[in-house]
Structure 1
Amino acid sequence: MHKGWCLLGATPLGGLILTITQALQQKGSAGEPIPGIFQALQALGVAIRQGQLHLIAAGPGTGKSALALNLVIRSGVPTMYFSADSDAFTQYVRSAARISGWTTAQVEEAVRNQQTTTIDAALTSLDARWNFDASPSLDEIEQSLMAYAMIYGWPALTIIDNVTNVDAPEMGEGHAGLDELCGFFHDLARRTGSAIILLHHVTGIYNDGNNPIPLSGIKGQIGRVPEVILTLHRGGTEFEGYDLRVSNVKNRGGKADPSGFTFARLGWQPERMLIDG
């Protein structure tokens, strides 16, 4: 158990011996689905639930961060976002484009010309706090969540973008270390009641993002712990329009297809960071 757990303490269920009905009565928000999930994903039986661990895996530039950001904005729930993979400017541009309807190029031009008043007003609706450390330690993640909780209560949603950026030498190296790191975040979700989403990479043959990615295509084979695992690949063309294809390769609460060939099609406008469906 990580030493920082003495700071985080325990949920009402931690360390107690209960009947299943007593546990249900004391669960708090655990198990509650995050609102705003895409209808196409709901049709596959996918939900993002508080108190559970979720993994989104895809190749570089396929849309992991875009999907996470759209979930944050669509849900409207209090969120803590650890953006190790992208800096503050990048996330500002993406968030502003998604909320305002502008293109990312238009947002960047507004920033250069110091004409962001309209954009900043639109961003006030985004109930998220950010940590931009490029390699946060487990202690820093815990302390940031504690600081958040002291002011706002525990976040309903926590994003780790990307999990391989987390500095956790105590977890070991290779597949075993990644699996142990998932165990840490699974315990963190259970104790805080936050829906935790880890963004992660895939193995080399799937890095182009053009084909369905199976459960076995996740880098490090860390599919054991998360309750829900989604993999992403692209579809469509610039002329006919793009779509983002989301495969439910693991779904502890419902049906799943580990081959990756069962997927939801989501509309995708990369220049506006807009995903719908």
Structure 2
Amino acid sequence: MLNAQRALTRNVQGNAELPRVPELEPLYQHGARPRRGEVIMVAGRSGTQKSGFALFWTAMMGLPTLYMSADMSGFTASARLASIVTGHTTEQIERGMSDAAARQMYLDAIAPMKFQLCFDSPIRWTGLAQELDAYVELWDSYPAIVVLDNLMDIEGCESSYEAQMAAMAEVTDLARETGSTILILHHATDKGWEAKSSPWTPPSRDQVKGGLSEKPELSLSVALDPTSYAYNIAIIKQRMGRSDPSAQQFCTLRAYPEHTRFGPYKGTFNPPGVIDL
């Protein structure tokens, strides 16, 4: 048991803000304060670049990351990481991997990334435990960030609300035991009036399936306008800061899906050039 003074002294460093990504400055200005050791949810309807956003965000923070996905193939995830670093499209990367010189340049470009990838389908708790044990064995520490992509792809959570609730409890315990930030992706409903009448507005908290966005310390709701590539993000839950459960207040980024990159909505996109094919 800790008194208030000891609890604050012990936990203040572990709950520091995550490194800020300059391209996401509009999100921080909107009031988001993602912190270390928290559970963070990114929720959105199908096809809203949740995985791409999670990859970009975690890659750009530069922290040791374990990314577990049942929602992407190994090629898709690794090509997206290469795209983030080089600014090249997935198509360019796929074409370049057939050329020995370009292949080596791509491999060298992503070599410094502190990423471990796992593609179990479904995501199993035993598999996650083994991955964490292997990570500790290799690096003598837990990863700073663990991404679970996504909640409904965790074993037993495909259609069971009770299993999803239990999974969120497990995720919370995992964050507390390891000190890792757990970033979990989840779906919002594609049905209902809001999804049909305003598909490019972030879903409100009550549209997140199972009401599970109430559990994390920070829950973000995302939507993509495919006509302008405006990427709208609402803070629908934040334990220590601004939030709007209705998702009517949101910030806007610009998505570049072909590059797996995001940035301010107004401005010129200058992809980092690493390889000239």
Structure 1 residue 146, shift from structure 2 partner = 2.1
Cα 1:257/1:80, change in 2 over 3 Å: same
State which of 103, 111, 122 in structure 2 corresponds to 1:135.
122
Verify the 8 A CA contact 2:201 2:232 in the aligned structure 1. no
State which of 149, 165, 172 in structure 2 corresponds to 1:161.
149
In the alignment, the residues of structure 1 paired with residue 99 and residue 209 of structure 2 have an alpha-carbon distance, to the nearest angstrom, of: 41
- Aligned partner of 1:261 in structure 2 is 248
Q: Compare 184-193 and 215-224 and name the one that shifted more.
A: 215-224
Structure 1 residue 28, shift from structure 2 partner = 7.4
> What does 1:98-117 align with in structure 2 at a 5 Å threshold?
98-114=84-100, 115-117=102-104
- Aligned partner of 1:62 in structure 2 is 48
Deviation string for 1:155-177 (max 9, x for gaps)?
Answer: 111100011111147xx963232
> What does 1:234-273 align with in structure 2 at a 5 Å threshold?
234-235=224-225, 237=227, 241-273=228-260
Structure 1 position 25 matched with structure 2 position 9: yes
Structure 1 position 123 matched with structure 2 position 121: no
Verify the 8 A CA contact 1:36 1:71 in the aligned structure 2. no
- Aligned partner of 1:34 in structure 2 is 18
- Aligned partner of 1:199 in structure 2 is 185
Q: Give the superposed CA RMSD.
A: 2.0
Structure 1 position 226 matched with structure 2 position 226: no
Q: Partner amino acid for 1:61?
A: G
Identity of aligned residues (%): 28
State which of 31, 34, 58 in structure 2 corresponds to 1:72.
58
Structure 1 residue 112, shift from structure 2 partner = 3.7
- Aligned partner of 1:186 in structure 2 is 172
TM-score by length of 1: 0.86
In the alignment, the residues of structure 2 paired with residue 234 and residue 250 of structure 1 have an alpha-carbon distance, to the nearest angstrom, of: 20
4+ residue stretches of structure 1 with deviation over 3 A?
112-115, 206-209
Structure 1 residue 138, shift from structure 2 partner = 1.1
Structure 1 residue 141, shift from structure 2 partner = 0.9
- Secondary structure at 1:26 match in 2: helix
Cα 1:135/1:219, change in 2 over 3 Å: same
The gaps in structure 2 that reach 5 residues or longer are 265-277
Structure 1 residue 113, shift from structure 2 partner = 4.0
In the alignment, the residues of structure 1 paired with residue 206 and residue 99 of structure 2 have an alpha-carbon distance, to the nearest angstrom, of: 47
Cα 1:243/1:52, change in 2 over 3 Å: same
In the alignment, the residues of structure 1 paired with residue 226 and residue 185 of structure 2 have an alpha-carbon distance, to the nearest angstrom, of: 23
Verify the 8 A CA contact 1:29 1:193 in the aligned structure 2. no
Structure 1 residue 116, shift from structure 2 partner = 1.2
Verify the 8 A CA contact 1:138 1:168 in the aligned structure 2. no
Q: Partner amino acid for 2:43?
A: A
Deviation string for 1:41-83 (max 9, x for gaps)?
Answer: 1112212212111110112221101110111121000111101
Structure 1 residue 235, shift from structure 2 partner = 3.0
Structure 1 residue 255, shift from structure 2 partner = 1.0
Verify the 8 A CA contact 2:175 2:182 in the aligned structure 1. yes
Verify the 8 A CA contact 2:236 2:244 in the aligned structure 1. yes
Q: Partner amino acid for 1:72?
A: T
- Aligned partner of 1:148 in structure 2 is 135
Structure 1 residue 131, shift from structure 2 partner = 1.0
Structure 1 position 47 matched with structure 2 position 33: yes
Cα 1:139/1:108, change in 2 over 3 Å: same
- Secondary structure at 1:116 match in 2: helix
Q: Partner amino acid for 2:133?
A: M
